[in-house]
Every structure is written in C-alpha cells, then in structure tokens.
C-alpha cells in the first residue's frame, strides 16, 4: 500500500473516510506528490497560452517558460506590415503580463531535454526539473532543400520572413526600395507548413502595395504545389483586385505542374532556379520547406516525417513520456499549423496536464481553428473555420461545421477584414495577457 | 499513536483533494468549449475589439437562442453560421452557463457626444421598453447593446433595418422600421453612438 498512486489516493479521499483509513501512505510520498512543476519550451503562441491557462486552471502549478527572445513578433498580421498597412510595433509582444501572473519566464535557449531524468537544459547552464514538460518551438527550415539559401543569406539578402521581426522589416524595406516596374519573386513551400494560406495572403498584400505605389511592377509566385488553401477564394480575389488571368495581371502563379518547384538560388544576381527555368527578382522572398523546431529533433521527439507524433487527447509525445508537444511542431492533422490551432491546442494540453498532475479525469476536449486572410486592405477579407472533437483516439472535424467564406458580397467581405483585426486583438490578449 | 497518525493523514489527504478539486471544479465542459471562443471573442468573453462582440454576462437563454439561430442559418453572419454547426444544444447550454457567469465590461472606444445625445432620445422612444437601461440587463434576454463594439452594433442594425436579412420579433420590427423610416441611417448611427457611451 505504500506506493499507492496519487490518483488512487484522491479517489480514496473522494470515497470518504473509509478510503482514508485504507490508505497507509507515508508523509514523504505525499510531500513528493505536491511537486507540480511544468517547464514550457518556447514562449510563442502555443507556449504562452499553455502557461497562462495552466496557472488559471490550477494556481498551485509551478510554471516556467524558457524562451530565447525577450520580444515576440506575431507572424499573423506581419503580412500587413510587409504590405505597409501596419506598424511593426503593433505585432510586438513581451512577457511582463505573464510574469505578473506568477509565471516564471527564463530568457535562455533550451539546448536539450533529458526525458528520462525529466530535466530541461539551457545554454546558460540551467537545469530545470519538471514533472511535465510542454514543448512549442514552432518551425525550423530545411535549409538543404534550396541550394544557395542559408540562414546568413536569409538574414541579409533574401528574407524568408516566416518568423516575424527583423525578417519582416527586411522584406518591407526591400519592397519600399524597389523601383516601379520591378519584379518580386515569392517562393512558396511544400506541404505541410506553418499557415497554409499565409504565402498567398502575403502575395495579396504585396500586390495591394504595388498596385497603389508601383503599378508597373510584377509578382511571380513559384509553387511546388498544384493548389493551395482557400484556392478558389484567392483566385477570385486576385482577379477582382489584381487583374489575375488577364494579360495585364500583376501576379503570375506557376504551380508544380508548370515547373514551379525551386531547387536553387544565385544570391548575387537574385536569380531563382525552378523546374520551369530561371527567374530573376528585384526582391526575392523564399519561404523554405519546413520541419519541427530544432529542439524537438535534439530531444528525440520527432519521427521520420520531421514532426512530433502525439496523443491527440493530451498532446503527450508518443515517443517520450511526460513531454507534451503543441503548435506547429506537433502532428495534429486534421488541424492546420496555425496560431489559432496552437492556441486552441495549448488550452486542451493545459487541461490534460492539470488533470494528470492532480490525478483527476480530463474533460472531453474541443478545438477550433479560424484563419483570416486579407486579400485587399480594408475591403476584402476571407476566412476558413473548423470545429474539432476527439473521437476514436483522434482529432476529427465535426461534420457539417466550418468551411470557407461564401460568394463575394462586398459588405460581408469588409466585415471580415474588421473581424480579422478583432481576431488579432483577441488572440494576442488571450495568449500574452 | 495509530489514531494520531490517521487524523494527520486525513487532513493531508483533504488538503490534497481540495487542491485537486479546485482545479476540477473550476474547469468543466462549458469552460473547455468556451475556451475555443476566446481567440475571437477575447479571454472570458470580453472582446478587445474592434468589431467582435463581447459575449460575457449574456443571459443563457439569449446565448443559446443566438447559437441555434446561427446554426439554422436564420441569423445571418460572416462566420458564426459555420462555427455554430459544430455544436449540439447541450454544448450551447454548457457554453451559455460559463459565459453567463463572466463579468461584462463595456468596450473602451471613441464616441461622438452630440450624436450620442440624440441617440439617447431615439433609444428612449423606440427601444427602451425592451432593452432597459440601454440594453445592459441580462434579464432582458437580449444581447448587450450598452458598451458593445460599434461596428458590431452597426452590422446588426444594418441587417435588421436596412437589408432586412434578419428576422425580428414583431414589436421590434415595428419600432425599428418606424425609427429607420423617420431618421434613416443617421438615426441608426446616433443610436450606435449612444450605446457605445454606456
Ligand atoms: C506570414 C504568416 C502569417 C500567419 N498568419 C496567421 C493567421 O492569420 N492566423 C493563424 O492562426 N496563424 C497564422 N500564422 C501561423 C502562426 O504564426 C503559427 O502557427 C504559430 O505561431 C504557431 O505557434 P507555435 O507556438 O507552434 O510557434 P511560435 O509561435 O513560433 O513559438 C515558438 C517559440 O519558441 C521559441 N523557441 C524555439 N526554440 C527554442 C529553444 N530551443 N529555446 C528557447 N526558445 C525556443 C521561439 O523563439 C518562439 O518564440 C501565420 C504565420 C506566418 C508566417
């Protein structure tokens, strides 16, 4: 009876005095079971949300976030910064409000996670012991996929701007400096990747900027896919606003069937090599193929797919016990790799972790995803939505729910732009306090 | 000796179970479902704007009725018609119970005082009977008007009065129709300014 689990103990206590009498537990075992330490790796959308909701669900949980940047810039709405419709300061968030809620924030780089010893190790030399660890490191890039494209090239000459901040500023600056009549080359990534409609919203935002300011310019999109998210809505929107499909189209989209797959870039001449041939840009934006954040690989949380397999109810890794993975790094399909999904998953994961630490039964989970894209600033917003439930050991779409914005209606499209901005204000309030 | 040990253990177990149950009691299916709304409607159902409405503090009946109307398509919307189809009536009731318990806070937004003044008169004449206290009483079993985000109020008044895409109770239809005929879009705008000051 001495090694009775906390779960059974609580069951026993719920059963009343009889249960207590049966439980011959030592004081030492009880003291140990009070340890409810959660270490969160990465303070982005998934990590910051998980931290806040864990504290809210059970304030006795000791929550620590390890994040290497003091300043977080949201990727969402960064396309509006690139298009010149938003100040970068409006997508800048910090961790003071989380700290004020009793969450410990450590600014450091996680270098390893010892799954057996239950310790998170940092570059600064810290060893942080945990009872449960939550990992939300976002994405990393397959740099080897495009010859000539390196982190140094991205930082100085050809931005990916797929993590917001300095990269966003660099791409914006290049667009501002480009002459009228210039060519912008955008290289889209293969599936799966962070924010499926994101590259096409970016193309729309850049097109809006050029149409207004440099109308003789062109955008060439090189895509290794046949189609993409919200395809019909984007095509329709590009026709309406940017002459798509006409001789005078601002946007040319070259898909996989037409040789859009890119293999190399010559940095000096800003020339991209695709199956269809060479494309020279005045501004080049390469969004490279993606995989789980590098710490997920170091900690052995990934499988052959390059992403982290998880239990769909608790988000616990199916490879390492006591480590949960949420957000872009996790394999949570049919949910997309989006901020809304990361936020929604983090709350379900927090509920799972709080239940596991307290030995209670987890509430049946529920998730939502909503992704807005603004095709034309102030005028034309579209969205995709979905409600998810847990069934047969998996996250599944609730039949009949969700889907895309309907046929063009100028009044409703305008509303969707304001709802997109509302979503931004609310999800960031929810995530960063 | 044995007795003393037992009582010590009992209190320790009790303390432990209180911690556990405080987590369990505070978190139920209603909150699990409601958590998925926060991305657009704000933490605890208080929207940070500029357009999505706050849904905290609403009457449970109004919340369920609205969600059912979105689900059936009776109430038009950009996105709620798609999202509401993901839930059962029991889900709506669980969410409604959660949001009804949350405190409603008026949105902080800029308003036009002179328009609001005229709006107040219009409200008193056409709306006050059912939307008492500028529409901030849950007992009225209608959505909050006072302190709601302006674009949201505008959209709804537009759908009711201008495009007439949305059904209303008979009395409301009569009153709103009369207001719109006499005061036009300007009257609706004044009404919106008034609610936004509350
Ligand atoms: C252009 C663009 C537009 C987008 N638009 C939308 C949108 O409209 N709607 C939407 O829902 N989603 C959108 N997204 C997607 C969204 O940004 C991501 O899905 C979301 O950020 C994923 O959250 P995460 O927690 O997995 O990763 P992140 O938010 O990237 O957080 C990861 C964090 O971990 C930290 N980190 C990583 N490794 C370590 C380490 N070893 N040590 C310490 N810290 C570490 C990083 O610094 C980072 O802060 C968009 C993305 C892009 C690129």
Cβ(A253)–Cβ(A221) under 8 Å? yes
A6 with B16: Cβ contact below 8 A: yes
The encoded tokens of residue A282 equal 């005045």
Residues with CB under 6 A from ligand 1: A 41-47, 66-69, 72, 75-76, 78-79, 109-110, 136-138, 162, 194-195, 198, 202, 293, 295, 327-329, 337-340, 342, 371-372
Chain A CB contacts of B19 below 8 Å: 58, 60, 358
Q: How many CB pairs under 8 A join A and B?
A: 168
- Specify the pTM: 0.92
pLDDT tens-place values along chain A, 433 residues long: 334 444 444 443 433 333 333 333 344 444 444 579 999 999 999 999 999 999 999 999 999 999 999 999 999 999 999 999 999 999 999 999 999 999 999 999 999 999 999 999 999 999 999 999 999 999 999 999 999 999 999 999 999 999 999 999 999 999 999 999 999 999 999 999 999 999 999 999 999 999 999 999 999 999 999 999 999 999 999 999 999 999 999 999 999 999 999 999 999 999 999 999 999 999 999 999 999 999 999 999 999 999 999 999 999 999 999 999 999 999 999 999 999 999 999 999 999 999 999 999 999 999 999 999 999 999 999 999 999 999 999 999 999 999 999 999 999 999 999 999 999 999 999 999 9
Chosen for mutation from A86, A327, A363 (greatest number of chain B CBs closer than 10 Å) is A363
The encoded tokens of residue A218 equal 């062109």
The encoded tokens of residue A292 equal 């789980």
Calculated CA dihedral for residues B84, B87, B91, B92, nearest 10 degrees: 20
The better pLDDT of the pair B24, B90 is held by B90
CB-based contacts of A125: which residues, under 8 Å, 6+ apart?
A: none
CA–CA distances in Å: residue A314 to residues A49, A342, B50: 15, 14, 34
The yes-or-no verdict on residue B128 having pLDDT over 70 is yes
pLDDT confidence of residue B27:
83
Nearest Cβ partner of B50 from A348, A401, A422?
Answer: A422
pLDDT confidence of residue A3:
41
What string of H, E and C letters represents the secondary structure of A363-424?
A: CCCEEEEEEEEEEECCCEEEEEEEEEEEECCEEEECCCCCEECCCCCHHHHHHHHHHHHHHH
The yes-or-no verdict on residue B10 having pLDDT over 70 is no
Residue of chain B whose Cα is closest to the Cα of A363: B29
The encoded tokens of residue A322 equal 């006591």
A426 with B42: Cβ contact below 8 A: yes
Q: Which residue's CA lies nearest to atom 6 of ligand 1? A: A76
Chosen for mutation from A93, A426, A428, A432 (greatest number of chain B CBs closer than 10 Å) is A426
B9 with A23: Cβ contact below 8 A: yes
CA A29 / ligand 1 centre spacing (Å):
39
How many residues would you count in chain A?
433
pLDDT tens per residue across span B22-47: 444 468 999 999 999 999 999 999 99
Chain B CB contacts of A340 below 8 Å: 39
pLDDT confidence of residue A269:
98
Question: Which numbered atom of ligand 1 lies nearest the CA of A337?
Answer: 19
User: Mean pLDDT across the stretch B68-76?
Assistant: 96
A25 with B9: Cβ contact below 8 A: yes
pLDDT tens per residue across span A159-216: 999 999 999 999 999 999 999 999 999 999 999 999 999 999 999 999 999 999 999 9
Nearest-10 crossing angle of helices B150-157, A410-432: 150
pLDDT confidence of residue B26:
63
pLDDT confidence of residue A1:
35
Chain B CB contacts of A25 below 8 Å: 9, 13
């Amino acid at each position: 009876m001495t090694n009775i689990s906390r779960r059974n103990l609580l069951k026993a206590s719920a059963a009343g005095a009889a249960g207590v009498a049966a439980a011959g537990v030592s004081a030492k075992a009880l003291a140990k079971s009070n340890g409810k330490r959660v270490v969160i790796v990465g303070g982005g959308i998934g990590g910051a949300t998980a931290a806040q909701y864990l504290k809210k669900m059970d304030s006795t949980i000791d929550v620590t976030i390890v994040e290497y940047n003091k300043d977080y810039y949201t990727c969402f709405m960064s396309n509006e910064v690139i298009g010149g419709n938003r100040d970068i300061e409006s997508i800048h968030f910090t961790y003071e409000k989380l700290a004020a809620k009793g969450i410990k924030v450590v600014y450091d780089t996680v270098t390893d996670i010892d799954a057996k010893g239950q310790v998170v190790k940092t570059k600064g030399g810290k060893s942080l012991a945990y009872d449960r660890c939550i990992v939300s490191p976002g994405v990393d890039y397959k740099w080897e996929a495009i010859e000539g494209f390196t982190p140094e090239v991205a930082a100085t000459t050809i931005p990916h701007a797929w993590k917001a901040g300095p990269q966003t500023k660099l791409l914006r600056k290049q667009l501002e400096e480009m002459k009228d009549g210039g060519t912008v080359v955008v290289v889209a990534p293969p599936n799966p990747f962070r924010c499926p409609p994101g590259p096409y919203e970016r193309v729309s935002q850049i097109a809006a900027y050029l149409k207004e300011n440099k109308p003789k310019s062109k955008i060439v999109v090189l895509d290794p896919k046949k189609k993409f998210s919200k395809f019909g809505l984007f095509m329709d929107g590009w026709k309406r606003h940017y002459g798509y499909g006409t001789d005078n189209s601002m946007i040319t989209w070259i898909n996989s069937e037409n040789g859009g797959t890119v293999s190399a870039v010559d940095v000096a001449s800003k020339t991209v090599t695709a199956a269809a041939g060479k494309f020279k840009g005045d501004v080049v934006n390469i969004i490279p193929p993606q995989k789980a954040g590098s710490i997920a690989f170091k900690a052995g949380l990934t499988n052959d797919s390059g992403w982290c397999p998880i239990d769909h109810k608790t988000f616990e890794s199916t490879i390492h016990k006591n480590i949960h993975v949420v957000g872009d790094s996790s394999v949570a399909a049919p949910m997309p790799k989006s901020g809304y999904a990361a936020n929604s998953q983090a709350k379900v994961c927090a509920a799972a972790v709080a239940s596991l630490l307290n030995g209670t039964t987890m509430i049946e989970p529920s998730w939502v995803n909503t992704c807005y894209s603004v095709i034309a600033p102030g005028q034309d917003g579209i969205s995709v939505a979905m409600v998810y439930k847990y069934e047969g050991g998996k996250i599944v779409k609730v039949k009949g729910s969700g889907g895309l914005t309907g046929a063009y209606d100028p009044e409703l499209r305008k509303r969707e732009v304001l709802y997109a901005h509302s979503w931004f204000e609310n999800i960031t309030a929810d995530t960063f306090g | 000796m044995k007795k003393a040990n037992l009582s010590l253990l009992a209190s320790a177990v009790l303390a432990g179970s209180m911690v556990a149950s405080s987590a369990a009691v505070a978190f139920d299916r209603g909150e699990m479902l409601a958590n998925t709304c926060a991305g657009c409607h704000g933490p605890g159902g208080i929207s940070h704007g500029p357009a999505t409405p706050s849904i905290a503090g609403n009457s449970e009946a109004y919340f369920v009725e609205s969600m059912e109307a979105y689900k059936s398509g009776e109430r038009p919307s950009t996105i709620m018609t798609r999202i509401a189809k993901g839930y059962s009536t029991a889900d709506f009731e669980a969410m409604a119970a959660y949001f009804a318990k949350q405190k409603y806070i008026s949105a902080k937004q800029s308003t036009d005082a002179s328009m609001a003044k005229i709006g107040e008169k219009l409200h008193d004449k056409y709306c006050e009977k059912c939307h008492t206290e500028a529409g901030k009483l849950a007992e009225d079993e209608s959505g909050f008007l006072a302190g709601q985000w302006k674009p949201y109020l505008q959209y709804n008044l537009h759908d009711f009065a201008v495009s007439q895409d949305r059904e209303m109770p008979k009395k409301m239809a009569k009153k709103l129709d009369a207001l719109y005929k006499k005061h036009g879009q300007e009257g609706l705008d004044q009404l919106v300014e008034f609610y936004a000051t509350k």
